[in-house]
Amino acid sequence: MGEVAKIRIEGKDLELPTIVGTENEKAVDISALRAQTGYITIDEGFVNTGSTQSAICFLDGEQGILRYRGYPIEELCEKCDFVEVSYLLMYGELPNAQQLEHFRSSLRRHTMLHEDMRMFYNGFPRDAHPMAILSSVVGALSTFYQDSLDPKNPQEVEMSIFRLMAKLPTIAALSHKKSIGQPFMYPKNSLEYVENFLYMMFAVPSEDYQLDSDFVEALNLLFIVHADHEQNCSTSTVRMVGSSDANLFASISAGICALWGPLHGGANQACVEMLEAIKADGGNSKKYIDMAKDKKSGFRLMGFGHRVYKNYDPRATIIKRTCDKLLKKLKIKDPIFDIAQELEQAALSDPYFIERKLYPNVDFYSGIIYRAMGFPVEMFTVLFALGRLPGWIAHWREMQMSPSKKIARPRQIYNGPAKRSFIPLHERK
């Protein structure tokens, strides 16, 4: 029998069971609390509240550890490509050769969009943000693929997974081509997943496209480090929407919207825009660090801080190393990379950041690599979504297959007006 949490409320003693995870994380199970005491708990932003038990991702914010299905992220970056890691996240085990080839060929067969879907893009303004396009078109997939919407039908779920994994790069690349007025490049199924995406993004019909192996390697690694991160805001959104038995396309579309926020996935775009502003302002990092420390300014160092990591984000370590390597290989001297390093050094020696355990997170250096590869800043969060897709799908699947699945419906404490009489219009002041 594990530990019990004893609480006394209004003179009544209550014992609540506890749960201990694989890595010794501990939780008090409060599912009996309201029935036995009439009390609920409140925890703004769920800082101390777990929504579920999950076998997909483990992270230790104090130690800076991140593992997918038990495998350290560093090892997966070194030994796998993004498709193999996607399989691991969604199905729970590293695929054998036959499973991996079947998965790769299944994705290849679904890379094209229904031709009528291309009409959607004519309706968007040229300067539409690609995250708005992504969430709209992903939601619309449910109108074209009505044969694979039932979350309780394993074959239909499998088909939706193939369609989403295969089509999201196509949808993303098309939003970019639309924004620059270039013709859409159909996917080439002779290319691997990341190669195909780079081809659809940067190739033009009038010339042969030369894939850069450094770019392919860097983007595979960036997608892997973005692939999952336990119950973050967008993944929790996907679970919340999916818990109503909404189809996978609708759930992922909601996750894309949540990721867009600058406090979440939108931080990679906001971070590069911040670094650009510092550069335009003469590279005065200290001014911006002082602003970030001044609550009245409302300014935050984008790409810094994390709800869980109170140590260096292990993904930022990997991304920074890749950034350095790529810039050196491409012989790019990007002043904002220098500013980012200066900012990091200054912040990490400043008591304000040290006391609050604020370190660079996954979004701090990723935008610099994306820029070096030629992606426009508006596409940065789209790239985060492409990486996070297998994680979202893995959590949606885990939730759907859970025998204890319930629709997510938090409680609240009402603090509005007590009961009062109606005031007819002519009596209102």
Q: Does 380 bind ligand SDX (CB under 6 A)?
A: no
Place of tokens 């971070």: 271
Q: Does 303 bind ligand SDX (CB under 6 A)?
A: yes
Rounded distance, CA 130 to CA 259, Å? Answer: 13
CB atoms within 10 A of CB 286: 13
- CA-only gyration radius of the chain, Å: 24
> Minimum Å distance from CB 268 to ligand SDX?
8
Report the side by side order of strands in the sheet with 57-60. Answer: 57-60, 65-68, 71-72
The site string for ligand SDX over 28-67 (x = CB under 6 A, - otherwise) reads -----------------x----------------------
H-helix segments, 299-408? 314-329, 335-348, 351-355, 362-372, 380-401
Q: Does 192 bind ligand SDX (CB under 6 A)?
A: no
User: Which residues are known to be catalytic?
Assistant: 306, 363
Rounded distance, CA 52 to CA 50, Å? Answer: 6
Tokens found for residue 70: 């038990």
Closest CA to 361 of 266, 428, 239, 279: 266
Of the pair 316, 373, the CB lying nearest ligand SDX is at 316
Q: Does 367 bind ligand SDX (CB under 6 A)?
A: no
β-sheet bridge partners, residue 267: none
Of the pair 118, 307, the CB lying nearest ligand SDX is at 307
Q: Which stretch binds ligand SDX (CB under 6 A): 141-149, 160-168, 353-361, 421-429?
A: 353-361
Q: Which of 362, 372, 373, 386 binds ligand SDX (CB under 6 A)?
A: 362
Q: Does 264 bind ligand SDX (CB under 6 A)?
A: yes
> Minimum Å distance from CB 378 to ligand SDX?
17
Of the pair 137, 362, the CB lying nearest ligand SDX is at 362
> Minimum Å distance from CB 229 to ligand SDX?
3
User: CB-hemisphere CA count at 13 Å for 308?
Assistant: 20
Query: Is 240 in contact with 64 (CB distance < 8 Å)?
Result: no
Q: Which of 221, 267, 275, 379 binds ligand SDX (CB under 6 A)?
A: 267
Question: Which spans of this chain sit near ligand SDX (rule: CB under 6 A)?
Answer: 45, 229, 232, 263-265, 267, 292, 300-308, 356, 358, 361-363
